Copies of this chain bind each other. A is one copy, B any other.
Amino acid sequence: MILFRCDYAEGAHPEILRRLTETNFEQLDGYGCDPYCESAKRKILAACACPEGEVHFLVGGTQTNATVIAALLRDYEGAVAVETGHIGVHEAGAVEYTGHKVLTLPQHLGKMNAGELEAYLAAMDADVNKDHMVWPGLVYISLSTEYGTIYSRAELAEIQATAHKYGIPLFIDGARLGYALASPACDYTLADLKDLCDVFYIGGTKVGALCGEAVVFPHGAPKHFFTTIKQHGALLAKGRLLGIQFDTLFTDNLYGRIAANAIERAQEMIAVLKSKGIPFFLESPTNQQFVILENGYMDRLAQEVGFDIWQPYDATHTVVRFATSWATTPEMIEQLRELL
Protein backbone atom coordinates (compact mmCIF):
# COMPACT_ATOMS: atom_id res chain seq x y z
CA MET A 1 0.00 0.00 0.00
CA ILE A 2 1.37 3.38 -1.00
CA LEU A 3 -0.27 6.63 0.02
CA PHE A 4 -0.79 9.73 -2.09
CA ARG A 5 -3.72 10.70 0.07
CA CYS A 6 -2.28 13.92 1.40
CA ASP A 7 0.90 15.80 2.17
CA TYR A 8 0.98 14.86 5.84
CA ALA A 9 1.33 11.08 5.66
CA GLU A 10 4.93 10.99 6.90
CA GLY A 11 6.50 12.45 10.02
CA ALA A 12 9.01 15.27 9.68
CA HIS A 13 12.07 15.99 7.62
CA PRO A 14 14.90 13.99 9.25
CA GLU A 15 16.90 17.12 9.90
CA ILE A 16 14.10 18.34 12.15
CA LEU A 17 14.16 15.14 14.17
CA ARG A 18 17.91 15.32 14.35
CA ARG A 19 17.85 18.81 15.78
CA LEU A 20 15.03 18.04 18.20
CA THR A 21 17.13 15.16 19.45
CA GLU A 22 20.33 17.14 19.56
CA THR A 23 18.82 19.95 21.62
CA ASN A 24 16.60 17.74 23.70
CA PHE A 25 18.22 18.21 27.08
CA GLU A 26 18.92 21.90 26.79
CA GLN A 27 16.86 23.60 29.44
CA LEU A 28 14.81 26.30 27.78
CA ASP A 29 12.16 28.76 28.80
CA GLY A 30 8.63 27.85 27.82
CA TYR A 31 5.89 29.46 25.73
CA GLY A 32 8.10 30.44 22.84
CA CYS A 33 10.55 32.51 24.88
CA ASP A 34 13.57 30.43 23.92
CA PRO A 35 16.52 31.20 21.61
CA TYR A 36 15.36 28.74 18.94
CA CYS A 37 12.05 30.54 18.56
CA GLU A 38 13.93 33.83 18.45
CA SER A 39 16.33 32.53 15.83
CA ALA A 40 13.55 31.03 13.77
CA LYS A 41 11.66 34.29 13.81
CA ARG A 42 14.70 36.25 12.66
CA LYS A 43 15.32 33.82 9.84
CA ILE A 44 11.71 33.88 8.73
CA LEU A 45 11.57 37.67 8.77
CA ALA A 46 14.78 37.77 6.76
CA ALA A 47 13.36 35.30 4.24
CA CYS A 48 10.22 37.43 4.06
CA ALA A 49 12.28 40.59 3.65
CA CYS A 50 10.39 42.31 6.45
CA PRO A 51 12.77 42.51 9.38
CA GLU A 52 10.40 44.91 11.14
CA GLY A 53 7.60 42.39 11.03
CA GLU A 54 6.43 39.98 13.71
CA VAL A 55 6.21 36.18 13.66
CA HIS A 56 4.08 33.97 15.90
CA PHE A 57 4.07 30.19 15.96
CA LEU A 58 0.86 28.20 16.27
CA VAL A 59 0.30 24.48 16.10
CA GLY A 60 -2.15 23.76 13.29
CA GLY A 61 -3.99 25.31 10.39
CA THR A 62 -7.57 25.44 11.61
CA GLN A 63 -6.33 26.87 14.88
CA THR A 64 -4.24 29.47 13.10
CA ASN A 65 -7.10 30.53 10.87
CA ALA A 66 -9.52 30.91 13.77
CA THR A 67 -6.99 32.73 15.94
CA VAL A 68 -5.78 35.20 13.34
CA ILE A 69 -9.27 35.91 12.04
CA ALA A 70 -10.66 36.51 15.53
CA ALA A 71 -7.73 38.80 16.33
CA LEU A 72 -8.27 40.88 13.21
CA LEU A 73 -12.03 41.21 13.32
CA ARG A 74 -14.36 43.16 15.56
CA ASP A 75 -17.46 41.35 16.72
CA TYR A 76 -19.66 42.81 13.97
CA GLU A 77 -17.33 41.71 11.18
CA GLY A 78 -17.00 38.53 9.15
CA ALA A 79 -14.38 36.98 6.89
CA VAL A 80 -14.92 36.99 3.13
CA ALA A 81 -13.88 33.71 1.51
CA VAL A 82 -14.76 31.67 -1.54
CA GLU A 83 -17.24 28.88 -1.05
CA THR A 84 -14.51 26.23 -1.15
CA GLY A 85 -12.31 28.14 1.31
CA HIS A 86 -11.08 25.84 4.03
CA ILE A 87 -12.47 27.99 6.86
CA GLY A 88 -16.00 27.63 5.51
CA VAL A 89 -16.01 23.92 4.81
CA HIS A 90 -13.64 21.61 6.66
CA GLU A 91 -12.87 23.43 9.87
CA ALA A 92 -15.96 22.37 11.76
CA GLY A 93 -17.19 25.92 12.06
CA ALA A 94 -14.15 27.05 14.07
CA VAL A 95 -14.50 30.61 12.80
CA GLU A 96 -18.21 30.79 13.57
CA TYR A 97 -17.45 29.29 16.98
CA THR A 98 -15.56 32.48 17.76
CA GLY A 99 -18.58 34.51 16.70
CA HIS A 100 -17.77 35.48 13.13
CA LYS A 101 -19.64 34.69 9.94
CA VAL A 102 -17.83 33.42 6.87
CA LEU A 103 -19.18 35.48 3.97
CA THR A 104 -18.90 33.49 0.77
CA LEU A 105 -18.13 34.38 -2.82
CA PRO A 106 -18.11 31.98 -5.79
CA GLN A 107 -14.90 30.05 -6.43
CA HIS A 108 -13.13 29.59 -9.72
CA LEU A 109 -10.83 26.58 -9.58
CA GLY A 110 -10.69 27.33 -5.87
CA LYS A 111 -9.78 30.97 -6.35
CA MET A 112 -11.41 34.27 -5.56
CA ASN A 113 -12.03 36.70 -8.38
CA ALA A 114 -11.12 40.30 -7.59
CA GLY A 115 -13.97 41.59 -9.73
CA GLU A 116 -16.49 39.56 -7.78
CA LEU A 117 -14.95 40.75 -4.55
CA GLU A 118 -15.25 44.34 -5.73
CA ALA A 119 -18.87 43.78 -6.77
CA TYR A 120 -19.71 42.28 -3.38
CA LEU A 121 -17.99 45.01 -1.38
CA ALA A 122 -19.53 47.73 -3.53
CA ALA A 123 -22.99 46.23 -3.18
CA MET A 124 -22.57 45.97 0.57
CA ASP A 125 -21.39 49.56 0.69
CA ALA A 126 -24.46 50.67 -1.26
CA ASP A 127 -26.95 48.48 0.57
CA VAL A 128 -29.51 50.52 2.47
CA ASN A 129 -29.73 47.68 4.96
CA LYS A 130 -26.01 47.29 5.54
CA ASP A 131 -26.27 48.23 9.20
CA HIS A 132 -28.35 45.08 9.66
CA MET A 133 -25.73 42.88 8.05
CA VAL A 134 -22.37 41.40 8.93
CA TRP A 135 -19.64 43.79 7.86
CA PRO A 136 -16.87 42.32 5.74
CA GLY A 137 -13.82 42.67 7.97
CA LEU A 138 -11.10 40.81 6.11
CA VAL A 139 -10.55 38.82 2.96
CA TYR A 140 -9.34 35.24 3.35
CA ILE A 141 -7.72 33.27 0.56
CA SER A 142 -5.67 30.10 0.60
CA LEU A 143 -2.43 29.70 -1.29
CA SER A 144 -2.20 27.18 -2.79
CA THR A 145 -5.95 26.70 -2.81
CA GLU A 146 -7.98 23.66 -1.83
CA TYR A 147 -7.79 22.67 -5.54
CA GLY A 148 -4.03 23.09 -5.71
CA THR A 149 -4.26 26.22 -7.82
CA ILE A 150 -2.32 29.40 -7.18
CA TYR A 151 -2.87 33.10 -7.66
CA SER A 152 -0.65 35.11 -9.96
CA ARG A 153 1.08 38.17 -8.61
CA ALA A 154 -1.35 40.33 -10.54
CA GLU A 155 -4.32 38.49 -9.07
CA LEU A 156 -3.04 38.89 -5.52
CA ALA A 157 -2.31 42.54 -6.09
CA GLU A 158 -5.78 43.12 -7.47
CA ILE A 159 -7.47 41.33 -4.57
CA GLN A 160 -5.42 43.24 -2.04
CA ALA A 161 -6.08 46.56 -3.77
CA THR A 162 -9.79 45.81 -3.74
CA ALA A 163 -9.74 44.88 -0.07
CA HIS A 164 -7.76 47.99 0.82
CA LYS A 165 -10.10 50.17 -1.18
CA TYR A 166 -12.75 49.15 1.35
CA GLY A 167 -10.39 49.41 4.29
CA ILE A 168 -10.03 45.72 5.04
CA PRO A 169 -6.93 43.51 5.17
CA LEU A 170 -6.05 40.46 3.08
CA PHE A 171 -5.14 37.30 4.98
CA ILE A 172 -3.46 34.37 3.22
CA ASP A 173 -3.88 30.87 4.61
CA GLY A 174 -0.51 29.42 3.73
CA ALA A 175 -0.95 25.88 5.02
CA ARG A 176 0.46 24.87 1.62
CA LEU A 177 2.37 28.07 0.91
CA GLY A 178 5.60 26.21 0.28
CA TYR A 179 4.10 24.21 -2.55
CA ALA A 180 2.66 27.34 -4.15
CA LEU A 181 5.96 29.20 -4.06
CA ALA A 182 7.88 26.21 -5.38
CA SER A 183 5.67 25.87 -8.41
CA PRO A 184 7.21 27.00 -11.68
CA ALA A 185 3.89 28.69 -12.36
CA CYS A 186 4.40 31.07 -9.44
CA ASP A 187 5.59 34.54 -10.42
CA TYR A 188 6.50 35.82 -6.94
CA THR A 189 8.58 34.75 -3.97
CA LEU A 190 8.19 34.54 -0.22
CA ALA A 191 9.85 37.94 0.01
CA ASP A 192 7.13 39.44 -2.15
CA LEU A 193 4.24 38.41 0.08
CA LYS A 194 4.76 41.27 2.54
CA ASP A 195 3.58 43.57 -0.25
CA LEU A 196 0.83 41.34 -1.60
CA CYS A 197 -1.12 40.77 1.61
CA ASP A 198 -1.42 42.03 5.17
CA VAL A 199 -0.85 38.83 7.08
CA PHE A 200 -0.04 35.29 6.01
CA TYR A 201 1.25 32.11 7.46
CA ILE A 202 3.91 29.67 6.41
CA GLY A 203 2.58 26.17 6.83
CA GLY A 204 4.87 23.71 8.47
CA THR A 205 2.56 20.75 9.08
CA LYS A 206 2.18 20.01 5.38
CA VAL A 207 5.70 20.98 4.39
CA GLY A 208 8.00 18.84 6.45
CA ALA A 209 7.28 19.67 10.08
CA LEU A 210 5.55 17.48 12.67
CA CYS A 211 3.25 20.40 13.31
CA GLY A 212 3.40 24.17 13.29
CA GLU A 213 2.38 27.23 11.34
CA ALA A 214 4.35 30.48 11.37
CA VAL A 215 2.15 33.56 11.16
CA VAL A 216 3.88 36.57 9.64
CA PHE A 217 2.58 40.07 10.31
CA PRO A 218 4.75 42.25 8.06
CA HIS A 219 3.70 45.38 9.90
CA GLY A 220 3.29 44.10 13.46
CA ALA A 221 0.73 41.86 15.16
CA PRO A 222 -2.55 42.90 16.75
CA LYS A 223 -2.15 44.08 20.35
CA HIS A 224 -1.74 41.29 22.88
CA PHE A 225 -1.67 38.64 20.18
CA PHE A 226 0.29 36.39 22.57
CA THR A 227 -2.69 36.42 24.95
CA THR A 228 -5.04 35.79 22.04
CA ILE A 229 -3.01 32.71 21.11
CA LYS A 230 -3.21 31.51 24.72
CA GLN A 231 -6.96 32.18 24.86
CA HIS A 232 -7.43 30.05 21.76
CA GLY A 233 -5.54 27.17 23.41
CA ALA A 234 -2.88 27.53 20.74
CA LEU A 235 0.15 28.29 22.91
CA LEU A 236 2.59 25.41 23.40
CA ALA A 237 4.27 25.16 26.79
CA LYS A 238 7.22 23.63 24.99
CA GLY A 239 7.44 26.36 22.39
CA ARG A 240 10.83 24.91 21.45
CA LEU A 241 8.98 22.25 19.47
CA LEU A 242 7.92 24.93 17.03
CA GLY A 243 11.01 27.07 17.28
CA ILE A 244 13.44 24.28 16.51
CA GLN A 245 11.34 23.02 13.62
CA PHE A 246 11.05 26.40 11.94
CA ASP A 247 14.64 27.26 12.69
CA THR A 248 15.58 24.08 10.85
CA LEU A 249 13.19 24.73 7.97
CA PHE A 250 14.57 28.21 7.50
CA THR A 251 18.21 27.20 7.67
CA ASP A 252 19.76 26.92 4.20
CA ASN A 253 16.28 27.25 2.73
CA LEU A 254 15.30 23.71 3.68
CA TYR A 255 11.65 24.80 3.44
CA GLY A 256 12.02 25.83 -0.18
CA ARG A 257 14.08 22.83 -1.13
CA ILE A 258 11.73 20.20 0.22
CA ALA A 259 8.72 22.00 -1.22
CA ALA A 260 10.45 21.88 -4.60
CA ASN A 261 10.74 18.12 -4.28
CA ALA A 262 6.97 17.84 -4.02
CA ILE A 263 6.52 19.89 -7.15
CA GLU A 264 9.03 17.83 -9.13
CA ARG A 265 7.32 14.62 -8.04
CA ALA A 266 3.95 16.14 -8.93
CA GLN A 267 5.17 16.90 -12.43
CA GLU A 268 6.30 13.30 -12.78
CA MET A 269 2.98 12.12 -11.43
CA ILE A 270 1.08 14.24 -13.94
CA ALA A 271 3.09 12.61 -16.72
CA VAL A 272 2.32 9.16 -15.34
CA LEU A 273 -1.39 9.84 -15.00
CA LYS A 274 -1.59 11.34 -18.48
CA SER A 275 0.34 8.43 -19.95
CA LYS A 276 -2.36 6.16 -18.54
CA GLY A 277 -5.05 8.25 -20.16
CA ILE A 278 -6.57 9.30 -16.85
CA PRO A 279 -8.52 12.53 -17.31
CA PHE A 280 -7.80 15.51 -15.07
CA PHE A 281 -10.59 17.33 -13.28
CA LEU A 282 -8.59 20.55 -13.44
CA GLU A 283 -5.03 21.65 -14.01
CA SER A 284 -3.05 22.29 -10.85
CA PRO A 285 0.53 23.59 -10.87
CA THR A 286 1.24 22.41 -7.32
CA ASN A 287 1.39 19.19 -5.34
CA GLN A 288 -2.30 18.30 -5.38
CA GLN A 289 -3.66 16.67 -8.53
CA PHE A 290 -7.33 16.04 -9.15
CA VAL A 291 -8.31 13.33 -11.61
CA ILE A 292 -11.51 11.59 -12.61
CA LEU A 293 -11.73 7.85 -12.01
CA GLU A 294 -14.39 5.39 -13.08
CA ASN A 295 -15.90 4.06 -9.85
CA GLY A 296 -15.14 0.37 -10.40
CA TYR A 297 -11.56 1.13 -11.34
CA MET A 298 -11.33 3.47 -8.36
CA ASP A 299 -12.42 0.76 -5.95
CA ARG A 300 -9.87 -1.71 -7.31
CA LEU A 301 -7.07 0.83 -7.29
CA ALA A 302 -7.90 1.83 -3.71
CA GLN A 303 -6.75 -1.55 -2.55
CA GLU A 304 -3.17 -0.74 -3.44
CA VAL A 305 -2.93 3.04 -3.62
CA GLY A 306 -4.16 5.60 -1.13
CA PHE A 307 -5.83 8.69 -2.59
CA ASP A 308 -8.48 11.04 -1.31
CA ILE A 309 -12.06 10.89 -2.53
CA TRP A 310 -12.93 14.48 -3.32
CA GLN A 311 -16.39 14.72 -4.80
CA PRO A 312 -18.74 12.80 -7.11
CA TYR A 313 -18.20 13.59 -10.79
CA ASP A 314 -21.16 11.84 -12.34
CA ALA A 315 -23.17 8.71 -11.69
CA THR A 316 -20.25 6.44 -12.54
CA HIS A 317 -17.18 8.58 -11.90
CA THR A 318 -15.53 10.30 -8.97
CA VAL A 319 -13.04 13.10 -8.57
CA VAL A 320 -10.08 11.96 -6.47
CA ARG A 321 -6.97 13.72 -5.23
CA PHE A 322 -3.41 12.47 -5.48
CA ALA A 323 -0.92 14.52 -3.47
CA THR A 324 2.84 14.55 -3.41
CA SER A 325 4.85 16.04 -0.58
CA TRP A 326 8.33 16.88 0.66
CA ALA A 327 8.67 13.12 1.34
CA THR A 328 7.59 11.71 -2.00
CA THR A 329 10.37 9.87 -3.80
CA PRO A 330 10.83 9.13 -7.51
CA GLU A 331 10.46 5.46 -6.56
CA MET A 332 6.99 6.09 -5.22
CA ILE A 333 5.98 7.70 -8.50
CA GLU A 334 7.42 4.71 -10.32
CA GLN A 335 5.42 2.40 -8.09
CA LEU A 336 2.31 4.39 -8.89
CA ARG A 337 2.97 3.96 -12.59
CA GLU A 338 3.05 0.22 -12.12
CA LEU A 339 -0.11 0.10 -10.06
CA LEU A 340 -2.27 2.28 -12.30
Contacts and interface: CB of A to CB of B under 8 A. Distances in A.
Given A91-B230, A92-B132, A135-B227, 13 more contacts: A12-B20, A17-B17, A20-B210, A59-B233, A76-B231, A90-B133, A93-B133, A93-B134, A96-B134, A210-B241, A211-B237, A211-B241, A233-B233
Contacts of A135: 224, 227
Contacts of A228: 75-76, 92
Nearest to A132: B90
Q: In the assembly, how many copies of this chain are there? A: 4
Interface of A: 1-3, 5-6, 8-12, 14, 17, 20-21, 23-31, 59-67, 70-71, 74-76, 78, 89-94, 96-102, 128-129, 131-135, 205-206, 210-211, 223-224, 226-228, 230-238, 240-241, 306, 309, 327
Contacts of A2: 27
A25 B11 CA distance: 6
A21 B134 CA distance: 36
A328 B10 CA distance: 32
Contacts of A100: 93, 96
A63 B234 contact: yes
